Amino acid sequence: MLLTVNELSVSFGGVHALDLSHFELNDKELRVIIGPNGAGKSTFLDILCGKTKPDSGQVLYNDIPVLGKTEVEIANLGIGRKFQKPSVFPSLTVFDNMLLALKMKKSIFASLFFKPTEEIDVRIRQVAVKVGLDKELKKIAGELSHGQKQWLEIAIVVLQDPKLMLIDEPAAGMSDEETEKTGELLLELSKHHGIIVIEHDMKFVEQIAKDLVTVLVRGKLLVEGSFSQVRNDQRVIDSYLGR
């Protein structure tokens, strides 16, 4: 098991943001988490990447306890996070944003002497091809389309070579065409990485949900199953889809 979560709970000022009894993810599984606003989806990813400290619970990543570790320690273990809001450097080129992502992996000392070698150049180009940005490497990131910026964010996570990728609402604000390309990208990435994706757009969820879908409502796991099981579950329709 790549990830095992037990009795994970966190409150913010009396509000139970997350109360997750059990969650498991296999290696190279692509899990989609859906649920209404405020269900605790982002909070769950925040805990997994060390940004938020839970009140109680257990998270095992490859049998290693993760809670209590810093965000940097968790990233170094191989858990990579793409946040909801874009965070690329708009005045740098696509290539330099990707180069910076590799530099950040080093210590401050090592990063001072970091020179882009042939090998690094090849690696950046490979990832750029994967996310469909190979023709945009010299472009200033601020001039990319919204979809391309999201793909650059995903590229930055991929460059860290994580075993587990946490991706929050990748298709938000994308055109239909960009959304579909993003789905294809996630399916491709799931051949090599375990992935947890949070998503709202049910058409997109259907495209990428080759494995299980988890439904969170008010911090609790309501249903877990295949896309069609979840789509037709009366409790899911009542509390989320039917509104």
Q: CB 53 → ligand ADP: shortest distance, Å? A: 11
Structure tokens given for 64: 């290693």
Site membership for ligand ADP, residue 89 (CB under 6 A): no
Exposure letters 169-204 (e unless 16+ CB within 10 A, then b): bbbeebeeebbebbbebbeebbeebbbbbbbebeeb
**Which one of the spans 12-20, 75-83, 138-146, 178-186 is the region binding ligand ADP (CB under 6 A)?**
12-20
Site membership for ligand ADP, residue 37 (CB under 6 A): yes
Backbone angles phi, psi at 56, to 5 degrees: -160, 170
Q: Report the residue from 3, 5, 8, 17 that binds ligand ADP according to the rule CB under 6 A.
A: 17
Q: Report the residue from 40, 80, 162, 183 that binds ligand ADP according to the rule CB under 6 A.
A: 40
Site membership for Mg ion, residue 207 (CB under 5 A): no
Q: CB 235 → ligand ADP: shortest distance, Å? A: 17
Q: CB 64 → ligand ADP: shortest distance, Å? A: 24
- Cα–Cα distances (Å) from 101 to 43, 48, 60, 83, 147, in that order, read 24, 20, 26, 15, 19
**Which one of the spans 40-48, 64-72, 126-134, 181-189 is the region binding ligand ADP (CB under 6 A)?**
40-48
How far is residue 197's CA from residue 35's CA, in Å, rounded to a whole number? 12
Site membership for Mg ion, residue 42 (CB under 5 A): yes
Query: Do 240 and 36 contact (CB within 8 A), yes or no?
Result: yes
Residues in region 42-61 near ligand ADP by CB under 6 A: 42-43
Q: CB 119 → Mg ion: shortest distance, Å? A: 37
Closer Cβ to ligand ADP, 12 or 89, answer by number: 12
CA-based nearest residue to 139, from 73, 88, 105: 88
Query: Do 150 and 170 contact (CB within 8 A), yes or no?
Result: yes
**Angle between helical axes of 118-130 and 94-104 (0-180°, round to 10):** 120
Site membership for ligand ADP, residue 39 (CB under 6 A): yes
Q: CB 79 → ligand ADP: shortest distance, Å? A: 17
Query: Do 153 and 32 contact (CB within 8 A), yes or no?
Result: no
How far is residue 80's CA from residue 156's CA, in Å, rounded to a whole number? 9
Q: CB 18 → ligand ADP: shortest distance, Å? A: 7
Which residues of the chain form contacts with Mg ion (CB under 5 A)? 42
Which residues of the chain form contacts with ligand ADP (CB under 6 A)? 12, 15, 17, 35, 37-43
